[in-house]
Amino acid sequence: MQNIGELIRTLREKEGYPLRKVAAFLDIDQAILSKIERGQRKLTKEQVIKLADFFNYNEKEMLITFFSDQIIYEIGNEEYAKEALKVAEEKIEYLKKTNKDE
């Protein structure tokens, strides 16, 4: 069960790249990438997409890892997290439906 930071680190190390190289690709300071990999800074969706491309990693999967992390970050410690997820699912389902009808 990997979070996005760990995933990026795994991919980077698999290639044997230093932070410097990936950070340059993303056009950010390597200190920030270091923090991203350890979950101390956030990524943008655009950065995730760029990284998936860079590492030839499935973009959809990486985005799902990214978004699920965001959710965990927000409600992971809440007592009713599971219930909230369930309701969120229903709301999304509902939104989809009503958006279709307009």
Q: Can you give the binding site for its own copies, defined by CB under 8 A?
A: 1, 60, 63-65, 67-72, 74-76, 78-85, 87-92, 94-95
Q: Are 63 and 48 in contact (CB under 8 A)?
A: yes
Cβ partners under 8 Å of residue 41, min gap 6: 32, 35
Closest contact distance (angstroms) between CB of 32 and its own copies is 22
Q: Are 9 and 43 in contact (CB under 8 A)?
A: no
Region of 27 on the Ramachandran plot (φ > 0 left; ψ -120 to 50 alpha; else beta): left
- Residue number with CB closer to DNA (19 or 49): 19
What does 1 bind: its own copies, DNA, none (CB cut-off 5 to 8 Å by kind)?
its own copies
Q: Which residues bind DNA (CB under 7 A)?
A: 18-20, 28-32, 34-35, 37-38, 41-42, 44
